[in-house]
């Protein structure tokens, strides 16, 4: 892997496979990575090993649509410490949603995922009212199975917060958080974690960087959202799990801490939220 931005470039410094001064000896958990994405086909093993080499010890892999769930399950069965979620993403609202919701119920009951999702609301996509219906159903499903939610929210955080209050389920994370401090407070009051990814590494994103600097230690997670949303200095490239070190280094800079301490804290938060310590990879779900 080639070096990243030159030393001194904001917001993080790279040295070989990680930020300067980072030992790679602590646990990192990527709380949101699409490791099942077909764009990783043929290179997944190498990317997994690369991530392990910089300290990534677990990945949470959200399924986004019914045709993709078998692939999500297969990838997570092949790679130790990959943990699947199943959900219907707001980009995948379909005509026969009732049938898909019934199938989702079956998958959640049978496969024992670590969360329901990726689900949520996106104002940049059509059929918003239908998105709301599907989101409500998935909130209810997560509540029924005592599982956290993995939430996608684009220009719809207020609506997401309203639906979470309405649904009465107060456990989960908002991935790639991009809202205001006030919205963050409301989510924290509901018991949700905030996950930060590549967007926080961009200096112009002052609002999200401000929230990332302010958020309580016990309510933050780190993610790549790979293969999308690469960190600053890698824009235009296919994102990869190992580049989570850039996110950690940025957060450490913003929060006046160390990469190691932040990795330890966010990994602990992820383990607690997704109950990873209680899970055995070999017993999760059925095989294809």
Structure confidence at residue 23 (pLDDT): 62
CA distance 146 to 13: 40
Find the mean pLDDT for residues 29-43.
Answer: 98
Structure confidence at residue 279 (pLDDT): 78
Please, which pLDDT band fits residue 284 given cuts at 50, 70 and 90? very low
Domains of the chain, each with CATH number or no CATH: 31-283 (3.20.20.140)
Looking at the chain, the whole-number percentage of residues with pLDDT higher than 70 is 88
Phi-psi region of 236 (alpha: psi -120 to 50; beta: other; left: phi over 0): left
Q: Which residue has the tokens 């009951």?
A: 109
More confident position, 10 or 177 = 177
Please, which pLDDT band fits residue 11 given cuts at 50, 70 and 90? very low
More confident position, 4 or 49 = 49
Secondary structure (3-state) at 192: strand
Structure confidence at residue 97 (pLDDT): 80
CA distance 266 to 32: 12
Structure confidence at residue 80 (pLDDT): 82
Q: Is the pLDDT of residue 277 over 80?
A: yes
CA distance 173 to 98: 25
Centre a 10 Å sphere on the Cβ of residue 6 and count the other Cβ atoms it contains.
9
CA distance 2 to 215: 32
Looking at the chain, the whole-number percentage of residues with pLDDT higher than 90 is 84
pTM value is 0.90
Structure confidence at residue 181 (pLDDT): 98
Please, which pLDDT band fits residue 10 given cuts at 50, 70 and 90? very low
Residue 226 is given by DSSP the state T
Structure confidence at residue 6 (pLDDT): 38
Q: 36-45, 93-102, 134-143, 275-284: which range is least confident on average?
A: 275-284
| Strand-pair partners of 62 | 85
Structure confidence at residue 98 (pLDDT): 87
| Distance in angstroms between the alpha carbons of the first and the last residue of the chain | 33
Please, which pLDDT band fits residue 26 given cuts at 50, 70 and 90? confident
The H helix count followed by the E strand count for the chain is 9, 10
H helix intervals, 112-242:
128-144, 157-167, 181-189, 206-214
Helix (H) or strand (E) segment spanning residue 85: strand 82-85
Q: Is the pLDDT of residue 75 over 50?
A: yes
Over the stretch 200-226, which tens digit does the pLDDT of each residue have? 999 999 999 999 999 999 999 999 999
DSSP codes, 32-70 = S--TT-GGGTTTHHHHHHHHHHTTEEEEEEE--SGGGHH
CA distance 250 to 11: 6
Q: Is the pLDDT of residue 121 over 80?
A: yes
Average pLDDT, the chain: 90
CA distance 264 to 258: 10
Which tokens in the block code for residue 29?
A: 């958990």
Over the stretch 93-111, which tens digit does the pLDDT of each residue have? 876 688 999 999 999 999 9
Q: Is the pLDDT of residue 19 over 70?
A: no
Q: Is the pLDDT of residue 264 over 80?
A: yes
Q: Is the pLDDT of residue 177 over 60?
A: yes
Find the mean pLDDT for residues 72-92.
Answer: 96
Over the stretch 221-232, which tens digit does the pLDDT of each residue have? 999 999 999 999
């Amino acid at each position: 892997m080639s070096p990243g931005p030159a030393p001194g470039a904001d917001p993080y410094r790279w040295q070989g496979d990680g930020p300067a001064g980072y030992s790679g000896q602590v646990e990192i958990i990527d709380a949101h990575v699409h490791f099942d994405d077909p764009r990783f086909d043929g290179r997944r093993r190498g990317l997994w090993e690369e991530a392990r080499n910089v300290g990534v010890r677990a990945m949470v892999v959200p399924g986004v649509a019914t045709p993709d769930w078998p692939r999500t399950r297969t990838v997570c069965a092949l790679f130790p410490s990959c943990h699947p979620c199943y959900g219907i993403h707001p980009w995948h609202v379909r005509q026969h949603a009732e049938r898909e919701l019934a199938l989702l119920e079956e998958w959640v009951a049978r496969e024992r995922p670590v969360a329901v999702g990726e689900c949520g609301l996106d104002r940049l996509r059509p059929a918003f009212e239908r998105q709301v219906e599907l989101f409500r159903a998935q909130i209810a499903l997560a509540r029924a199975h005592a599982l956290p939610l993995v939430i996608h929210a684009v220009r719809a955080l207020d609506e997401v917060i309203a639906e979470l209050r309405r649904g009465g389920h107060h456990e989960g994370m908002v991935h790639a958080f991009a809202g205001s401090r006030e919205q963050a407070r409301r989510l924290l009051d509901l018991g949700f974690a905030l996950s930060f990814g590549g967007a926080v590494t961009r200096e112009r994103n002052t609002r999200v960087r401000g929230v990332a600097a302010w958020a309580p230690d016990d309510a933050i997670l780190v993610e790549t959202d790979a293969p999308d949303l690469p960190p600053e200095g890698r824009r235009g490239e296919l994102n990869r799990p190992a580049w989570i070190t850039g996110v950690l280094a940025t957060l450490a800079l913003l929060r006046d801490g160390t990469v190691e301490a932040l990795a330890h804290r966010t990994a602990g938060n992820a383990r607690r939220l997704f109950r990873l310590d209680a899970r055995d990879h070999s017993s999760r779900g059925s095989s294809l």
